[in-house]
Structure 1
């Protein structure tokens, strides 16, 4: 039995839904807006369903359109994986690996791995995206990233994972701070200080929020910044303290002090569950795991 639509029509439909409009979708697809409109009209006629609400300034999915969207995304992703697999049977390798890395890891942990992989595979382009840990998980699930470094905890989404390293979260204070010569700091003492924290969505902030919930103590947030050099400068000048992975506290003006119950984070390289990894992506995973002792 013939299907009522083809993959091209589904791609147009998904793009219209993602971009919430015909004009934006047409620009993304490099076709005329009239062609996009006609494709959607034909699809609705063939299915005998209304898929989109046409508002004055935007487009939204009907319930039926929402159901089709879920299946259409899955079909398109499977088609792309199939196409890639067939290309690789002819010896062609996907030329790009898109990897997401939280900022602390990207700046202090991954440069040697990225440069080492590039030296071995100069023909493969590496695209590195910095974002918060939770956003990276969403991007991997949506197919916007091939791989990402994630925190292993109970909030993590189901993914394929390869363990990378275990690292301690420490209190970061200026050298002249009363905590600087201590062996450890309690959560109660930490929360009595003005804090310099990342914004929501970063594992740095999630760590502090989780500690707050566990202790019933409220964080005194003096500054919010996702910029590590700025955060360090604020701490160094004595306007607050923060937490970092121990390796990040790497300059003379700052001191790293453990919590009295040492806080450890397990970090993994992850990709979407049941996803097809290209040769380039598989090579990157194998390289990172083989050289993770540099982390």
Structure 2
């Protein structure tokens, strides 16, 4: 019965072949003496009762037919081994570390607060460093390497950023129950919205950027008479005045809607949320784990 080949012996064979059968160079790379390497290979051939290398005047000059097949299989074994070890390293290191993640305040308050809480409960070894800013600033920080991940309204505007949509909803028009829109059925046409006094978020929010582009595309010149960083101020003003607000529909989950309502806009105005990273970012098991966790949470 033949003795099982040890993994280090396969590695010795691969190293010898990769170094053009130069035992001196191979031994140096393997941190062995040349006699020790020669002895190991001779013992392997003896115990397996095979001839792996062709020799000329005592020097290895190539592989036998058996040797060629053995090296082919050894390379596959070594590749699988390195892949296994890489996976093991990722698994063991992915649940510890720090992830710098930027999220727009509106997204945190509407759809992300529960996700963050659960993530921290399930991943106690990972520290989340939250940065709350508008979309443009977060994209800039992500592109400059100041963030690992960013949660942004899609689509992003930086070409260097890769995004994965994890949540889908819509932007809505908000108004009180005394407004003329209350008597209209269904979604409100953009052409009608443009006739009203409009309150929206400041220009560093992606929703406002997209809204203004939508108006321009439809050749509309509305009265945007007030902009703010506060979505609850927008809704309070809509409740107390005849003005209308343009903000995401999921805000209703954070607001008492007894005296205010919202409708979709025609044409449909999506509010999709993406989790983003920089293309070709340096591999980081902890960051990859966090990204996949949030994608799975929203799926």
- TM-score scaled by length of structure 2: 0.64
Aligned residue in 2 for 1:219: 222
Of 163, 166, 173, 1:164 maps to: 166
Structure 1 residues 90, 249: closer, same or farther in 2, change over 3 A?
Answer: closer
Structure 1 segments unaligned to the other structure (5+ residues): 1-84
Q: Are 2:208 and 1:208 equivalent residues in the alignment? A: no
Aligned residue in 2 for 1:175: 177
Q: Is this contact kept in 1: 2:153–2:207, CA < 8 A? A: no
Structure 2 segments unaligned to the other structure (5+ residues): 1-85
Structure 1 residues 136, 168: closer, same or farther in 2, change over 3 A?
Answer: same
Structure 2 counterparts to residues 1-295 of structure 1, below 5 A: 95-153=97-155, 155-182=157-184, 183-250=186-253, 251-293=257-299
Q: Is this contact kept in 2: 1:222–1:240, CA < 8 A? A: no
Partner Cα separation in structure 2 for residue 118 and residue 126 of structure 1: 8
Give secondary structure in 1 for the equivalent of 2:216: helix
Q: Is this contact kept in 1: 2:188–2:264, CA < 8 A? A: yes
Partner Cα separation in structure 2 for residue 116 and residue 190 of structure 1: 39
Give secondary structure in 1 for the equivalent of 2:232: helix
Structure 1 residues 239, 128: closer, same or farther in 2, change over 3 A?
Answer: farther
TM-aligned CA deviation for residue 232 of structure 1: 1.3
Partner Cα separation in structure 2 for residue 104 and residue 277 of structure 1: 29
Aligned residues: CA RMSD: 2.3
Partner Cα separation in structure 2 for residue 135 and residue 268 of structure 1: 16
Partner Cα separation in structure 2 for residue 111 and residue 167 of structure 1: 17
Partner Cα separation in structure 2 for residue 264 and residue 147 of structure 1: 22
Give secondary structure in 2 for the equivalent of 1:110: helix
Partner Cα separation in structure 1 for residue 115 and residue 234 of structure 2: 25
TM-aligned CA deviation for residue 152 of structure 1: 3.2
Aligned residue in 2 for 1:22: none
Structure 1 residues 255, 233: closer, same or farther in 2, change over 3 A?
Answer: same
Q: Is this contact kept in 2: 1:137–1:157, CA < 8 A? A: no
Partner Cα separation in structure 1 for residue 157 and residue 234 of structure 2: 26
Give secondary structure in 2 for the equivalent of 1:291: helix
TM-aligned CA deviation for residue 150 of structure 1: 2.5
TM-aligned CA deviation for residue 238 of structure 1: 1.5
- TM-score scaled by length of structure 1: 0.64
Structure 1 residues 205, 232: closer, same or farther in 2, change over 3 A?
Answer: same
Determine which structure has more spread, i.e. the larger CA radius of gyration.
Answer: 2
Structure 1 residues 222, 124: closer, same or farther in 2, change over 3 A?
Answer: same
Structure 1 residues 218, 161: closer, same or farther in 2, change over 3 A?
Answer: same
